[in-house]
Every structure is written in C-alpha cells, then in structure tokens.
Structure 1
C-alpha cells in the first residue's frame, strides 16, 4: 500500500514540476507581450503628427491629419484595451494551468499587437510622404519654372532653327503656365499629394520639350539642307559618270533619290507635328544609304581603272600561254618516245589547252561587253579577275608539268648513279665478308646476298626498257636500296658477333680447368661457332661465362670497345 502511495506521490510531483515549468514559460511570453503592448501604447505618434502643422492645414493635409489621429485613437482606446483584457484572461488560464487556452489567447494578442504596429507604420509612411512631397514639390517646381523661362528664351532667340515646328513648340510651352497656377492653388489648399502629381507630369513634359529643343534644329538641318545637298551631289556625280560612258542603271540610283526626296517632305511634316520618334532613326538610315551609294559609285570608278589597265594585258597573257602550252604539248609527245608518262600527266597539255580555249571564249565575250559599254564596270572587273585567276591556275599546272618533263632526264641520271653506288656497296659488303676472319658465311646471309643481287638486276632491267618508266624504276631502286642496306647492316652485325664470341671464349678459358660444366658449355659454343651458327654460339658462350662470373659480359664489352678505339 505504501508502495502505491509513493508512486502516486512521485507522479503528482512530476506533474506539478511540469506544470510549473510551462507556467514559467507562459509568464515569460506574457511579460514580452505586455512590453510590446506598452511600446505601442506609449509611442510618441502625436509628436510625429505635429510636423504636419508646419504645412497648410487645409484640404487634403487636414483630412489626412484627422485620419491619422483617429486611427491612432482607435489603437490606444480600443485595441490596447482589448489587449489588456486578453492579457488578464491569459494570466488567469496560466494560473489555472490551462496552457492550451492560454496559448490561443497569446496568439490573439500577438495578432492585435501586429495590427497596431501596421497602423503605426502606415501613419508614419504617409506622414513622411506628405512632408517629403511638400519639400520635393517646392524644389522641383522652382527648377521647372527656371527651365520654362530658359526654354522660352531659346525658342524666341532661335525661331528660325525650329522652322514649322515653332508654333506647336510654343503651344506646348504655354501649357506650363496653367499647371503652375494649379500647383500654387493646390499647395495653398494643403493638397500636397495632388500637387505632387502635377510636378511629376510637368517633369515628364519638360524632358520631352528638352529633347525636342535639342533635336529639332539638327533634324531640320538634315532634311532641309544636308540630305538634299547629298542628293544633288549624287545626281551630278551620276550624270558626269554616265557622260563618261559608265553604266549605272543596275544601281537604280535615280529611283532611290526620287523616293527619298518625297520621303523628306513627310519627315518635315512629322517634325512640324513634333513627332520625332521615327524621324531620327530614319534620317540615320538615309545617311547610311547615301554613303552606300557613294561607295558604289567609287567602286565603279575603281573597277573602270582596273578594266582599262588589265583587259588588254590579259589578252596578251592568254595568247602567250596558249602558245607555250602547245609547245609543252609537242615536247610531251617527243619525251614520250623515251619516257613513259602516267596517264594523268600525259593528258595535262590537252586539258590545259581545253581550259584555255574556254577562257579565251569568256575573254572575247568580256571584251565585247567592254566595247558595248552596256555593263557595269564592277561586273566586268569581277569577270576579269575570275579569268585572271583561272589563267594563273592553268599556267601553274602546265609549268609544273613542264618541270616534271625536264626532271625526267635528271631522275634517270640520278637513278643510274644510285644503282652504281648500290652495286659498289654490295661488292664492298661481299669483300668485307670474304676478308673477315670467320669460319664461314651462314646460309641465311647467302640468301640475303642473292636477294640483293636480284634487286639490283631488276633495277638494271627496268633502266634498259624503252620508254623508261621512272615511277617503276624509282620503286625498284628503293626496294634494292632497302635490301642492300639491310644486308650491309646484317653483315657488320655478324662480324661484330664473331669477334664478340671469340673474346668471350678467350675470357672463359681461364675457368675451364676449374669448372668442368663451363668447359662443356664452351665446347658446345665452339661447335656452333665452327658450324656458322653464330647466334647460338653467342648465346651459349655468354651464358657459360656469366654463370661463372656475373658481370663478365660487361667486362668483355668494355675490353672490345677499348681495343676498337685503339684501332681507330
């Protein structure tokens, strides 16, 4: 029984501790909310509102002041009292450990305080806007009036610069005065926010007027003077060039200039209506188009000079090249009796002649167009340049072919010289093998020597053919060269191996008496050596000496190098 009593007591104490913990937590929240409520309640909002008294307490200003004061009275006399009641209820629920209900009331209090804070911030923001509007209005309106006076002076002093746009500009400027009067009335009545709207409207209008005053004189200068002058110069230039037999119809310059002159009248009307938004970019476009036509006319002048200086010389070049190509063709026919030409090369002269005939026909048509004077010189220049480029390409092709013909004799002599050198090298290799102190020549080396001789024979046979096929001769020559150089390298390697084997066996003789196994191995190496199996002999001798004395092979190599150095 006592045990159960103790358990119940412990549970009750635990519940009490939890309850006290949550009550303390909620008391902290209530204290915070109480503090926030007092901050709202005692905020010096009326001191802020007294700033309005420096303004005209009429009209909109008086209405706003009353709205702000009533809104704050509602905060202090209604919302704050409700918050006090909610705080009292929350404290009661906390004391009675009804924490869930207390939490709901705490949330309601926070919402009320937040609503009061929003009201305070709204009042301060509107107050700041009103006071700021009054100061901005005063400063900006002085600037606008000064600008208006300056703009009117500019218009009066430079009336001729604005042309037909002057009347509408003056009307736009006259519209400022009624707005100035309306602003003064609204300000005197305390309607600062409405007055602010007028200031913003006049600022926009002033910016537009400023742009008009800045742009209209230059735009009128373009459409009335500069562009018409450029049009007149283009017409005169076109007339002078046509009198000099230039063909310019393809430019359609007259039609373009007529269209621009009509368009200039429309642009003048748009400027007179102060509608310059589309005028400025279009004038830039027209100036660009006029510059382009100047460039085209200049291009025709340059093209005429080019045609005058290159047309006749091109004819001479074409005729000379046709003569040279025919000579090369005759030479190729003669050369083919002695040398066989690849089919592609053999056709080169005929192909070049065909291309030259086509170019000759193109040139004749070009010369006819130049004489008729019914074609643009820029077009003639392009055709002339294309013919020149094609002519240069054909000339290069036939020159390369002619050079190849001349090189055939050189190639033949070179091939015979190389054949003689290879024959000499092979003979020297055979003499070197004959003089070498070796037991004999392995069968493999004999086969290589026979193959080298056969390759030389093939080259000699190809040099005796008629006509000579230099491509085949050079191919055979390369095969023979490769074969003989390999034979030479193998022969030198074999002689060097023989010397190496002899030195290794000589070095290993010192161990024969004391090392029977090594004696047997060296004997096998000697047998292979006398049978001309030099690779086998080298492997056996090297293995025997290295097993008896590790590093002996390196020592033998050093001794051989010293000996060869002394001989050299």
Structure 2
C-alpha cells in the first residue's frame, strides 16, 4: 500500500516538473517573439514613408505609395497592438495548467509576428524601389538630355555626311525629343510606372537613331564618291580601250555601267528611307559588279601581249603537226600494202588530220579578226591555249602510232628467220626418229608431229600473203614455239624409251632360262616393242621384272645410258626440283 502511494507521489512530482519545464519553454518562446516584434519597431518605416512622400508622386506610383501607407497603418494601428495583447495573454497563461490551449495561442501569436515581419519587409522594399526608380528616372532625364544635344549637334555639324537621309534623321530626333519631354514630365510628376514604359521605348528608339548615324555615312560616301569615281574611270577606260580596238565579246560594258549607275541612284532613295541594311546589301552588289567590269577590261589588256606573242609559235606548231601527220599517213599507206594494220592506225591518223584542219581553221579566223581589229583577245588566247594543248596530244598520238608500226619490217624478218628455224627443227626431230630404225612410231606421236608440221606450214602460208598480219603472225609464233618444245620432249621421251627398252630386253636374256617371269616379261616387252610400238610400256614391263630379279639394275643401266648421251637423268632432275620446292 505504501509502495503504491510512493509511486503515485513520484509520478505526480514528475508530471509537475514537466509542466514547469513546458511553461518555462513557452515563456522563452514568448520572449523571442517579443524581441522580434521589438526589432520590427526599429525599422524606420515612418521616415522612409516621409521621404517617398516628398517625391510628389502621381498616377500609378501614387496609388502604390498610398497602398504602402495603408499597409504601414495596418502594421502600427492593428498588428503591433494585437501582437502586444497576444504576448501579454501568453505570458499570463504560461502560469496556468491548460497546456493545450497555451500551445494553440502560441502558434497564433507566432504566425501573426511572422506575417507582420513579412509585411514590414515588403513595405520597406517597395519604398526603396520607389526611391530607386525616381533616382534612375531623374538620372535618365539628365543622360538623355545630354545625348539628344549631342545627336542634334552631330546632325547640324555633319549634315553633309548623311545626304538624303538628313530629313528622316531629323524627324526621328524630333520625335525622340517629344517623347523625352513626355518622359521628363512624368518623372517630374512622380508617375514612375508610366515613365518606365516611356523610358524603355525611348531608349530603344535612341539606340536605333545612333545606329543610323553610324551606318549611313560610309554607305552615303560609297554612293556619292567611291562608286561614281569608279564608274567614271570605267567609262574613260572603256573609251580608251575601244579606241585601241579592244573588243569584249558578248559583254555590253556601256550597258552594264549604266545599269550600275542606275542602281547607285536608286540606292540613295533606299538610304533616304533610312533602310541602311537594305542599302548595304545593294552596295555590296554594286561593288561586285564594278569589280567584274574592271576584271573584264583587265582580262583583255592582259590577254593582248600573250596573244601576239603566241601567234608565230602556234602557226609553226600547226605546220609541224600537219607535216608530221602527212608523213605518217604516207608511211601508213605504204605499210598497209604489205601489212595488216590491226589497231586502226590509218583511221586514227586520218582523224588527227581532221583535227588539225579544224585547229588551223580556228587559227586562221583568229588571225583575220586580229588583222581586222575585231578580235576579242581573251577569246583568242583561250583558243591558243586549247590549240597548244590539243597539238601536244596530237603529237603524242602520232608518236605512238609511229612507234607501233615502226618495227613491222624487223618483225617480219625475225618471223621469217624463226619460221626457218622451226622448219629446220622439225626436219631434225624427224631425222632423229628415222635414224633409230624403229619398227614403227606410236600413232599419238605421229598425230602430234603432224599437228605441229601443219602449224608451221600454215605460218609459212600466212607469211607469203601479199598483206601480212604481223599481230596474228606473232601469236602463231608463240603457239608453235610452245608446241615445238613439247614435240621435242615427246621425241626425246620416245627415243629414250625405245633405246632403253631395247637394251633392257637384251640384258634380260641372261635370266630367261633361270627365271620364268623374266622370260615371260621379255616376250611381252618384245611384242610391245616390235608389233605395237609402245616403247615406254615395253620399257616399264621389262624394267619392273629386272628390278625384282636384280635390284638396282634398271637404275644402273639407265644412268649409264644418260651418261653416254651426255645428258642428265630426267628423273634425277625432277627429284632435285621437288626437293627445292619442299
């Protein structure tokens, strides 16, 4: 029982202490709010209102100031007294036990103090803004007044530099000054809201006028001094050049000069309308057209010297090319009697002759125009440059044609000598076979021999034609040489096989009585040799059985045979080549 009572007492003490602590905390927050309210009283809103009130505000600025006065009244007459009352009530309530109500009242008081602080800050900020705007506008009045005096002075002192634009510029300045008067009046009256609107437009228009004063003089100078002087120089230059019989082809220079002159006059009107950007575009176009006219005249002046210098050289070049082409045609006509020209050499030479006629025709017309003083030098110079280029190309083609046909006679002599060698070689191979006194020759060898013989005979026939096709002859020579080399290999193979087979058959006689397989192989080999004329097969048949009876005998006899012939064994050469490859 006592324990419970002690517990209750302890809890009560804790609760009481908590309440005391909370009340103390509330009193500290109330004190903080009181300090904040005191700081608001230190802000000199009344003095600032008095200063702004001395600005003689009107219009929207006055309405804004009156609203600020009303806000100040709300602060001093309503909100601050309410804050005092609520803080007093909180101070007294903080000694009571209604903690929930105390918390709600503290929240309301805090909100009121914060809202009042925000309103004070707003009023102070807007009052400062009104003072700043008033100062800014009064400074703008001073600055703009100075600027307009300078602009007026510039227009009066340098009106010659603006030409037809002067009236428009003065009108714009007058309009600016009227707007400036309005701005000055609004500023003096304190209607800063309306003055701000006027100031923005005034500054934009002033900047535009300043840009015009900067942009127009150089454009006007180009149109009244630079371009007219250049056009006069072009007219004088054209008159002097035409007096010296210069021609300008299809270019109407007087018409072009007049067109540019008209553009200059028209662009002065563009400048008078205060459109310098458009005038600049046209000025750029005029400058380019004037440069083109200067270029046309200079081109003809520059072309005259080279034209006169090239005349003799081009004439000699044409004559040389014509003579060379005449010689080439004669040579080709002569060669065409004995040879077939397979690459249209004659036709190409005739085409070159036509090109030379056309070149000479252009040259002669240019000479006539120069003599008659009606030539345009730049056109003649272009003709000469093309003529020289074409003549060089023609000369190269003539040289290539001559080079391609120059060796036809030598080629024919070489071909006939080669044909003689082919014929000799065929007879030599035939005699080698006949000297062996073989019982017969394999049909495959005879067929290949007759093919090569027919090729040689056809070559001889083609060489005996009135008109020889050396390109075809050259191809035939290559084919026959290859086939003849193959025939020589076949001949050597036939002779070697026949002689070795005959030797091995005789050598095998020593084994016929003792070895039946040798006797049978000898009989078969003899039949292949005597009756079927298959010497390689006969050699293989007897060699195989001999190597079985006497190993290495065939290789020994074969090496001895090639040694007597003074040649290397083809099998050894093939093995050596294979070894190199590996």
TM class by shorter chain equals 0.5 to 0.7
In structure 1, C-alpha distance between the alignment counterparts of 2:481 and 2:413, rounded to whole Å: 16
- Counterpart of 1:479 in structure 2 is 479
- Counterpart of 2:172 in structure 1 is 172
Give how far 1:205 is off: 1.4
In structure 1, C-alpha distance between the alignment counterparts of 2:270 and 2:235, rounded to whole Å: 26
- Counterpart of 1:408 in structure 2 is 408
The aligned runs of 1:523-538 (5 Å cut-off) are 531=537
Structure 1 residues 202 and 457, CA, compared in 2 at 3 Å: closer, same or farther?
farther
- Counterpart of 1:194 in structure 2 is 194
The answer to which of 320-329 and 60-69 deviates more is 60-69
| Residue 317 of structure 2 corresponds to residue 311 of structure 1 | no
Give how far 1:292 is off: 0.5
Give how far 1:422 is off: 7.3
- Counterpart of 1:357 in structure 2 is 357
RMSD, aligned α-carbons: 5.3
- Counterpart of 1:242 in structure 2 is 242
Structure 1 residues 493 and 368, CA, compared in 2 at 3 Å: closer, same or farther?
farther
| Residue 455 of structure 2 corresponds to residue 455 of structure 1 | yes
Q: Are the equivalent residues in 1 in contact too, given 2:263–2:286 (CA < 8 A)? A: no
Structure 1 residues 215 and 450, CA, compared in 2 at 3 Å: closer, same or farther?
same
Q: Are the equivalent residues in 2 in contact too, given 1:441–1:532 (CA < 8 A)? A: no
- Counterpart of 1:38 in structure 2 is none
In structure 1, C-alpha distance between the alignment counterparts of 2:133 and 2:481, rounded to whole Å: 104
Give how far 1:249 is off: 6.9
Give how far 1:365 is off: 2.5
Q: Are the equivalent residues in 2 in contact too, given 1:141–1:199 (CA < 8 A)? A: no
Structure 1 residues 563 and 195, CA, compared in 2 at 3 Å: closer, same or farther?
closer
Give how far 1:385 is off: 3.9
In structure 1, C-alpha distance between the alignment counterparts of 2:447 and 2:579, rounded to whole Å: 30
| Residue 380 of structure 2 corresponds to residue 380 of structure 1 | yes
- Counterpart of 2:553 in structure 1 is none
Structure 1 residues 453 and 162, CA, compared in 2 at 3 Å: closer, same or farther?
same
The answer to which of 463-472 and 180-189 deviates more is 180-189
Q: Are the equivalent residues in 2 in contact too, given 1:134–1:192 (CA < 8 A)? A: yes
- Counterpart of 1:264 in structure 2 is 264
- Counterpart of 1:282 in structure 2 is 282
Structure 1 residues 249 and 384, CA, compared in 2 at 3 Å: closer, same or farther?
closer
In structure 2, C-alpha distance between the alignment counterparts of 1:417 and 1:133, rounded to whole Å: 118
Secondary structure in structure 2 of the residue aligned to 1:347: helix
Answer with 1 or 2: which has the greater Rg: 2
In structure 2, C-alpha distance between the alignment counterparts of 1:149 and 1:195, rounded to whole Å: 21
In structure 2, C-alpha distance between the alignment counterparts of 1:457 and 1:289, rounded to whole Å: 80
Give how far 1:222 is off: 0.5
TM-score normalized by structure 2? 0.57
In structure 2, C-alpha distance between the alignment counterparts of 1:494 and 1:139, rounded to whole Å: 127
In structure 2, C-alpha distance between the alignment counterparts of 1:69 and 1:487, rounded to whole Å: 132
- Counterpart of 2:334 in structure 1 is 334
Q: Are the equivalent residues in 1 in contact too, given 2:260–2:289 (CA < 8 A)? A: no
Give how far 1:482 is off: 4.6
In structure 2, C-alpha distance between the alignment counterparts of 1:237 and 1:227, rounded to whole Å: 15
Structure 1 residues 269 and 447, CA, compared in 2 at 3 Å: closer, same or farther?
same
In structure 2, C-alpha distance between the alignment counterparts of 1:444 and 1:147, rounded to whole Å: 120
The Cα offsets for residues 238-268 of structure 1, whole Å up to 9 and x where unpaired, read as: 1221122112373222222233334433333
Instruction: Note the residue ranges of structure 2 that are not aligned, 5 or more in a row.
Output: 1-39, 71-118, 435-439, 496-523, 529-533, 548-570
Give how far 1:423 is off: 7.8
Secondary structure in structure 1 of the residue aligned to 2:466: coil
In structure 2, C-alpha distance between the alignment counterparts of 1:315 and 1:222, rounded to whole Å: 49
In structure 1, C-alpha distance between the alignment counterparts of 2:450 and 2:241, rounded to whole Å: 85
Give how far 1:560 is off: 4.5
Structure 1 residues 302 and 449, CA, compared in 2 at 3 Å: closer, same or farther?
farther
Paired residue total: 418
Q: Are the equivalent residues in 2 in contact too, given 1:304–1:377 (CA < 8 A)? A: yes
Give how far 1:418 is off: 6.1
Q: Are the equivalent residues in 2 in contact too, given 1:300–1:376 (CA < 8 A)? A: yes
